[in-house]
Structure 1
């Protein structure tokens, strides 16, 4: 959420740091470019729950580089969000960031080397930074201030001078905030603050930046969670969270799955395969428009469509059953459009 935004800001900071080609007294430009060193860098964001409880989280996987021409880019792999609690990580990924559709946050900037031309003599400078952040399908231009410190001719540190405030509304993340609040039964301040410390090293040549690309691509699909099969508690928690996403779509009055549903369902397949001993019920629910009998039939057909999709994606045997509940189990009022939307849903539960 705000965290994503903050992360992006950090990345931009890093981009500026790369600009310090000027960093070396021997450089007249960006030379072979600069590469972010994630093992020596941190990105943290702070959120507030129930008005007074402050929680600090971060991201484990991110990369970045500054090209010889001054173009800087940093990518944050949102699946790597780390709150130190497994199911909270899962909520952030599926309910807030919706990483099955938006796996990365990307920061880009064009660096002017002249801004840091005197860094070799000053050693540390606080500079304004303008950057573009792409998060959750939204791209915005932002501004902040960072401290750039010359650690050595080959190393530069870029750090936030103060926490950066990011509003969820700027990146269409208000819906994610609401889902988190309902899932955890808490009130969340719809903005967050971000702090960061980035370390960049000068490339020995163009090949350095190119060699990091395959690893970065692999990292983008890697979630920070237990490896291998999941225990029953972790499985049940994930299915409960996936039931809250609202990212399974059907045309009005139809049981045909919209292609927009596939990214979430493909993520669900991975979780089902990691819970090999459990049977899953796919439950279909509708709003109260129309007759109860028609809604029951529609919910049954929609649940069956999801069941068939999952069986077509490596899920074997009789591990999945589909049930249609019609309008019998609403989770919101059917008197409002938003309430009806929430009642039209697919849920996943573990059954005996």
Structure 2
């Protein structure tokens, strides 16, 4: 009997952890990363219990990862990486592959680089965290010239992650950015701009050299059939680099939204009215100091308001680090 009760508690803890993570993905991560118009459109559909416009389970009912997501759109993480980071108070400038600490990949993590999360998340008023790099086609030097212990090759192309991404996309036959934009537009993402000069390629000097070596007398075919990975990064750069552009955003919302919509272990599918624990989120103060029923985690505000983040990753960090002098958690809900 005791084992059964313990197993039930463990399963409930699993479920609650999963639900909190899924909430962060939908209402923190994607909301911050995606184009606002695309996010509002796709998130509103999800909250109205509508399926994504394109993404769906395969013929066997399994959830898949489209290559447009895995080989192009979600590789946005590669451009977000900085050359150096602050790990903790004693190590404020650590290179991505730092020979001083042997952090060249696939090795044990050095104890003196244990991360102090206030340098990566906005959790302390006196510390400004090291934010990610802008979303653009320029990758950090460390991942455009990866060290040989990571990629054992003398060929600079082999060690350039950007080149490897483009090569992989070509090998897998990815459609061009323009073709994907048209398909998404036709499916219902009408906020996507299909103008031929959308990427403003004439402003990039290197494209003139591509035109010079193009077959025939015309411009390079890459102007109208731009590799999807580059298209997504350039689309974001033209828009300011603070978020993904509409095409990259639509791909992420389709796939992440589809997983949340179709997966039986998703809060969006199993319990759409579920909310995070108020002891962890910013909404805890309302539950503590407001009498009577209150409206927490307003769904409309979650989608529409740019600055409404009642529960984000920084809240998780604060909660985990909220301990007393004996190492015990200090519960905001304790009497």
- The structure in which a higher percent of residues are strand is 1
Q: Which has the higher contact order (CA 8 A, sep 6+)?
A: 2
Note whether the superposition's TM-score is higher than 0.5.
Answer: no
- The structure in which a higher percent of residues are helix is 2
**TM tier relative to shorter chain:** under 0.3
TM-score, normalisation: structure 2: 0.24
